[in-house]
Amino acid sequence: MKYFSFFRNYSRLLAFAVLLAFFSSFGQTFLISFYVPEFAGAFALTEGRIGVLYGIATVGSALLLPWTGRLIDRVSLSRYTLAVSAGLGLGGLILAVAPHWILLFAGLLIVRHCGQGLCGHIAMTSSGRYFVENRGKAVAIAGTGYPLGEILFPALITLSIAVLGWRLSWGLSAGLIIVVLAPLALSLLRSSRRLENALPKVDSGTSDESRNWRASLLLTDYRFYVILATLVPIGFFSTAFIFYQAVIAESRDWGDHVFPSAFAAFAITRAMLALAIGPWIDRLTAVRLLPAHMILLLIAGAFLVFFSGEWAAYAYLICLGMSMGVGQSVATAVWAEVYGVENLGGIRSVASMIGVLSTALAPLIFGMLLDFNIEVPTLLRGALVMILALTLFSFVAASILNRARLTKQG
């Protein structure tokens, strides 16, 4: 089924998933980073201490995910979405009026959890659950909401801070969430009960659908760790590279204009590859495509290590965007293929907790290494060696998982 006809047939549910992925931007690192200097000045904190608060908030958000994320399997999608939208709006309002750094921390925790954590969780879980034959296309379409936010919000947030100030900017964002996200999402889900009954939930023959994959059981299954070892690295390394992009640019003598302009190319290629990989997932399965995003991450790292011209920044971010585009689509599909969809929300929430924890640790680990006076080129070379090893392992992982899948089919 072609993308156009597929979207036309299921436009409401797919538009809902794109909307939630798009609004997850309000809890994403790239958006919050625009407010860091403002937070530091308003609360008399150094940017380093703001980073510590942000890291703790991210860890807290990750630890909550196994409990809040699995509720999507137990309550209606409409009620769950309404609660998450309300939480995200509340977090924005707290940030807008926070008189003390304690409330700043509370606001960051809420927007990280409800935005980056649960909005994305809803988008990918709903698109992965309600489609079987076209699951690859569904998660690919849903994933376009992420780069769409990365393209639109940086300029809008920068303008709103300059014109309104950072507090009114967050107030405006909270109002947008409450007035647009919640009503529009509920409108798109008005016929969600009919869709849930019409679309198949069981991917027969390819997963352990009959088993109740609770967290305790999931953590004893070797396949869970095999999959994580191929999915977590992209979040860890991309977060570290993006968080310290100014340090990398300085080590390469790149101008301040390079990364901001290259980030648009990153977002566009991420969207393009997310869509391009969808039909291939449906054709070949996500399990077989697991090494693809690691290969692209390896190429991105190679551009950082071996080339110093400004063009290398664009090449690196384009390849990184391609890697993340492929990875975001493959990730949701592979959990559904291996474990089924009845408990997909709970499974993804446990996996997301580990992934988010890795993104919280990445800046800390890289920062400690920099504080030990390890030079940036040396640090990047070490990262590239690790990525190479993980890329080679991804081929082994794909073989292991595919063999297990074929054994269950037989």
pLDDT tens per residue across all 410 residues of the chain: 577 777 777 888 889 999 999 999 999 887 887 887 888 888 988 766 777 788 788 888 888 888 898 888 888 888 999 999 999 999 999 999 999 999 999 999 999 999 988 998 899 888 877 776 777 778 888 888 988 888 888 878 888 998 999 999 999 999 999 999 989 998 888 754 555 544 544 444 444 544 555 656 777 888 889 999 999 898 889 888 876 776 788 788 887 677 767 778 888 898 888 888 888 888 888 888 999 999 999 999 999 899 888 898 899 999 999 999 888 888 878 887 887 766 777 777 788 788 888 877 877 787 778 777 888 889 899 999 999 999 999 999 999 888 876 666 55
Distance from the Cα of residue 174 to its chain's centroid: 21
Q: How far apart are the first and last CA of the chain?
A: 28
Question: Which residues, at least 6 apart from 259, have a Cβ–Cβ distance to it below 8 Å?
Answer: 245, 246, 249, 313, 317
Residue 2 domain flag:
no
165 backbone φψ class: left, alpha, beta (φ>0; ψ -120 to 50): left
CA distance 267 to 181: 22
Residue 11 has a pLDDT of: 81
Residue 206 has a pLDDT of: 46
Residue 248 domain flag:
yes
Q: Do residue 195 and residue 247 come from a single domain?
A: no
- Alpha carbons within 13 angstroms on the beta-carbon side of residue 264 total 7
Question: Which residues, at least 6 apart from 238, have a Cβ–Cβ distance to it below 8 Å?
Answer: 297, 320, 323, 324
Alpha helix (H) ranges present in 307-375?
A: 310-339, 344-371
Q: Do residue 23 and residue 169 come from a single domain?
A: yes
Residue 218 domain flag:
yes
Q: Do residue 121 and residue 239 come from a single domain?
A: no
Task: Tell which of 185, 200, 215 closes a domain.
Answer: 200
Q: Angle at CA 199, nearest 5°, toward 193 and 204?
A: 135
Residue 408 has a pLDDT of: 60
CATH number at residue 384: 1.20.1250.20
Q: How far, CA to CA in Å, does 107 sit from each of 26, 36, 110, 251?
A: 11, 13, 5, 34
Q: Do residue 274 and residue 147 come from a single domain?
A: no
Q: Do residue 277 and residue 347 come from a single domain?
A: yes
Residue 334 has a pLDDT of: 87
Q: Do residue 304 and residue 222 come from a single domain?
A: yes
Residue 305 domain flag:
yes
Q: Do residue 235 and residue 97 come from a single domain?
A: no
**Total number of domains constituting the chain:** 2
Task: Tell which of 178, 200, 222 closes a domain.
Answer: 200
Q: Do residue 250 and residue 301 come from a single domain?
A: yes
Q: Do residue 254 and residue 366 come from a single domain?
A: yes
What global pTM score does this model have? 0.74
In this structure, are residues 95 and 107 in contact, taking their beta carbons and an 8 Å threshold? yes
Question: Which residues, at least 6 apart from 157, have a Cβ–Cβ distance to it below 8 Å?
Answer: 31, 34, 35, 169
Residue 27 domain flag:
yes
Distance from the Cα of residue 267 to its chain's centroid: 13
3-state secondary structure 79-142: HHHHHHHHHHHHHHHHHHHCCCHHHHHHHHHHHHHHHHHHHHHHHHHHHHHCCCCCHHHHHHHH
Q: At what angle do helices 135-143 and 11-23 cross, to 10 degrees?
A: 40
Residue 341 has a pLDDT of: 67
Question: Which residues, at least 6 apart from 353, have a Cβ–Cβ distance to it below 8 Å?
Answer: 62, 63, 65, 66, 69
* H or E segment and range at residue 159: helix 145-164
If one counts every other C-beta atom within 10 angstroms of the C-beta of residue 328, the result is 29
Q: Do residue 231 and residue 194 come from a single domain?
A: no
Q: Tokens in use for 248?
A: 């990398």
Range of the domain at 390: 202-410
200 backbone φψ class: left, alpha, beta (φ>0; ψ -120 to 50): beta
Residue 214 has a pLDDT of: 60
Q: Do residue 23 and residue 114 come from a single domain?
A: yes
Task: Tell which of 168, 200, 232 closes a domain.
Answer: 200
Q: Do residue 207 and residue 196 come from a single domain?
A: no
Residue 265 has a pLDDT of: 85
